[in-house]
């Protein structure tokens, strides 16, 4: 039976449907279709745009000067893309994560910045991305600009253009917990797939284990969606089939195996999935959204984050999540969120013990989140 999880009492107008969810280490952002952004969870580093709070239990509206059309989050930093194409940031300002300040003196630590402010030099942005210690923006021209920790401890305090790419349609940053130990995937408007960053498990998909600070092309037929996991990658081809590669410790290749140390440095087919249109990857679990509105999930399921109704160590082959009419799915660390066609928000996976009574226990099947906001 699907258990309903209420986030307090419904206090939003019926027209206020949900559009996107983003999350960092222990904070979460929610974007409504009216452009309002709300945050909850850990707040000690300014992640929720409020000072003097360790924890925000009831979602607070982020004070932005105009409606937002996209959101993103890194470990302790938050971002919003406004309708005018500018990007605003707030939260932890370490290692250039806010993209709007230069380096500090050696031995000193930059203070958190809880007040949202625009990132200089970014305009005509159409989408934003964040994960771990890095963030990026995609412009209308298809250019990718990134900031924060980049490749192997290289830091940039202001957005820098990623060269060597064709016009890009979409992007995914992996959730590497160690600075510089992550990878990024980019889908070109022409269907090409590009990868750069860490490659210790073959997650760049170019047949090697050699990391690359510059984009390398992944040899695949036209791609429509791609997602970077911890040390693994997954892509949806134009024909609706799925390819996966990289580390398979959490069964993220969906091949029915869970062999420690197994890797694939080139894309391999994921059996049992057809008609896929988009993909999402968390720390160790994968979702493929099918064109009929259902989800296929595989990988680590220790807290029920695959949404199958019963938690287990690993879901080694794709299985159907207990939710239909799905419009979008978000794998946030080890947690999962989905938005259905009617604009409702659903959660499944490990609870958040710091919020008693709200997402406080593990949820093994999708449960509706009904947000009351301050």
Note the pLDDT of residue 105: 63
Rg (CA), the chain: 19
Note the pLDDT of residue 282: 96
> Alpha helix (H) ranges present in 246-357?
none
- Position of tokens 């160790």? 284
Note the pLDDT of residue 251: 95
Strands 87-91 and 144-149: unpaired
pLDDT per position as a tens digit, 190-213 = 999 999 999 999 999 999 999 999
Chain centre to alpha carbon of residue 321: 19
Angstrom CA distances, 123 to 83, 139, 324, stand at 11, 7, 37
CATH classification number, 18-369, choose in 3.40.50.970, 3.40.50.720, 3.30.565.10, 2.130.10.30? 2.130.10.30
Could you give phi then psi for residue 134, rounded to 5 degrees? -140, 155
- Which helix (H) or strand (E) segment is 287 a member of? strand 285-290
pLDDT < 70 stretches in the chain = 1-15, 103-108, 152-153, 177-180, 355-358, 374
- Position of tokens 């959730």? 175
- Which helix (H) or strand (E) segment is 100 a member of? none
Domain ranges of the chain: 18-369
Tokens of 297: 């999930």
Note the pLDDT of residue 56: 94
DSSP label at residue 3: P
DSSP label at residue 105: P
């Amino acid at each position: 039976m699907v258990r309903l999880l209420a986030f307090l009492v419904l206090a939003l107008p019926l027209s206020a449907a949900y559009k996107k969810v983003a999350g960092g280490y222990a904070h979460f952002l929610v974007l409504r279709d009216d452009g309002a952004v709300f945050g909850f969870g850990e707040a000690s580093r300014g992640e929720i745009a409020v000072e003097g709070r360790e924890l925000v239990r009831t979602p607070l509206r982020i004070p932005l000067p105009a409606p937002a059309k996209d959101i993103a989050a890194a470990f302790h930093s938050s971002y919003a893309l406004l309708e005018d194409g500018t990007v605003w940031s707030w939260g932890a300002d370490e290692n250039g994560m806010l993209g709007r300040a230069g380096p500090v003196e050696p031995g000193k630590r930059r203070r958190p910045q809880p007040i949202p402010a625009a990132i200089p030099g970014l305009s005509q942005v159409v989408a934003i991305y964040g994960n771990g210690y890095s963030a990026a923006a995609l412009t209308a021209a298809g250019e990718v600009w990134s900031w924060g920790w980049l490749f192997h401890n290289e830091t940039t305090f202001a957005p820098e253009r990623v060269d060597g790419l064709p016009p890009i349609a979409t992007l995914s940053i992996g959730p590497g917990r160690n600075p510089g130990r992550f990878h990024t995937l980019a889908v070109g408007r022409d269907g090409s797939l590009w990868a750069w960053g860490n490659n210790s498990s073959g997650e760049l998909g170019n047949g090697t284990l050699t990391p690359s600070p510059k984009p390398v092309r992944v040899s695949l037929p036209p791609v429509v969606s791609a997602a970077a996991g911890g040390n693994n990658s997954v892509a949806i081809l134009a024909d609706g089939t799925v390819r996966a590669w990289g580390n398979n410790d959490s069964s993220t290749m969906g091949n029915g195996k869970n062999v420690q140390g197994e890797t694939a440095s080139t894309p391999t087919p994921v059996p049992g999935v057809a008609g896929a249109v988009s993909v999402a990857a968390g720390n160790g679990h994968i979702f493929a959204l099918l064109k009929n509105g259902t989800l296929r999930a595989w990988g680590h399921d220790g807290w029920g984050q695959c949404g199958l109704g019963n938690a287990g160590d690993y879901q080694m082959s794709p299985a159907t999540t207990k939710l239909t009419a799905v419009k979008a799915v978000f794998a946030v660390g080890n947690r999962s969120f989905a938005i259905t066609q009617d604009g409702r928000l659903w959660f499944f996976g490990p609870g958040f013990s710091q919020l008693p009574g709200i997402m406080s226990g593990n949820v093994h099947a999708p449960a509706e989140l009904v947000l009351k906001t301050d």
